[in-house]
Chains A and B, each alone.
Chain A
Amino acid sequence: MRKVIGIAGKIASGKGIAAEHIISRYHAGCIDYSQFLYRVLDIFDVPHERKNINALSIFLRSAYGQGVFNNAVLQQLEKQSESIVAVTGIRREQELAQLRKIEGFCFLYIDSDIHSRYERNRRAARKPGDADMTFEQFVEKDSDDSNNTIQDLMVSADFIIDNNGTVDEFHAHIQQVITNCVGDSN
């Protein structure tokens, strides 16, 4: 049976590292909730800046309904052939509730304090402007409409992974949790 592993966590909490870990260790597939926004921005050659991403996200939800991202994720899931698929970037209860209907679904929440995340976000500089962001700007960003519902998902997690220590500790913790999630058959 296919295993779908949901991953949530706030900005720069380590979702990407967790997904990468699962992909490389288990030859898993990966779907990121935000990949669909990037795909649209690419169709129209619009830069991947946070304000462009947020505007699109708000528009899609308000024009076509709160379930648009789930539609995209579920459609993509049908196309993935891997026996394990990580679904990362879950933000809302409603999204999680939809994914819960999938048999074999398992949900991980990555917990990391805001100072560590701020430093990581600045260093990784994945989006234009990230490198120069002040701590105050980061706090503001972290609590805006697209990010302020994420922490509510922690209570529903099957596993909470702490990412306040070293990278090695994080990887060890991920491995331990994934083993529990996918069972011995893998």
Chain B
Amino acid sequence: MKKIIIGLTGRLASGKGTVTRHIVEKYQADKTRSSDPLRETLDIFMVPQTRENLDALSTFLRTTYSENVIAQAVKRYLTKSSAGVVIFDGMRRLVDVETIRSFEHSLFIFVDTNQEVRYHRSVQRNENIGDDKMTLDEFIAKDSDEPQQQIEALKEYADVILDNNGSPDELQKQLDERVDAVIEKLLK
């Protein structure tokens, strides 16, 4: 069976979740996050999956074994999945792009949304504790850290850049017309 790997990225509160839901529902896609191998490790030892614990493990693995050790684990997760469409959610580094491109059929989607729109959505959805109380300045500070900067640099490698500055319907239209068209072509 043909297998399509869909890499997905975008900055904080850009709308990746909406894109993921669409692809999962429409194509019964499986999904893997870059943190999944780290989360599986913490679960073995019943260590809480906080950002701090995940980061400590990530740093240890990359500095002790090899810089690409996590990316390669993600690649094995993507390979193991029996679904026809597999989403790699939350790509951050160039090595993640290399990972999806190592599969025969890949699609890289970048969700592009400007900062102010993302700020207002982040306050509204309140995904992590305290998000609803965050000021614009605090959001900008969080949005400028290194991992977020790295994400921006991946845009030029994307196959599809979705503009999510408009209404939910406008995003849906792009998903129907642009994303589905490519996936269906790849599935043929």
Contact = CB atoms under 8 A, between A and B. Distances in A.
Contact of A75 (B41, B46, B73): B46
A155 interface: no
Interface string A1-41: 00000000000000000000000000000000000100110
Nearest to A75: B46
B56 interface: yes
Contacts of B40: 43
A45 B56 CA distance: 19
A134 interface: no
Interface in A90-126: none
Interface stretch (A62-70, A160-168, A172-180): A62-70
Interface residues of A, number: 19
Interface in A120-162: none
Interface string B10-37: 0000000000000000000000000001
B72 to A, nearest CB: 6
A40 B38 CA distance: 9
Nearest to B40: A43
Given A44-B65, A69-B45, A71-B45, A63 B72 contact: no
Contacts of A75: 44, 46
Contacts, number: 48
Given A63-B57, A64-B47, A43 B37 contact: yes
Interface string B73-98: 10010000000000000000000000
Given A43-B40, A52-B65, A55-B64, A68 B47 contact: yes
Say what secondary structure dominates the interface of chain B.
helix
B45 A72 contact: yes
Contacts of B60: 59, 63
Contacts of B44: 36, 39-40, 72, 75
Q: Report which residue of A40, A44, A68 has the largest number of chain B beta carbons within 10 angstroms of its beta carbon.
A: A44
B76 A45 contact: yes
Nearest to B38: A43
B64 A59 contact: yes
B46 A72 contact: yes
Contacts of A181: none
14 contacts: A43-B41, A44-B61, A44-B73, A45-B76, A46-B69, A56-B64, A60-B45, A64-B45, A64-B47, A68-B47, A71-B46, A72-B45, A72-B46, A75-B46
Interface of B: 37, 40-41, 44-47, 53, 56-57, 60-61, 64-65, 69-70, 72-73, 76
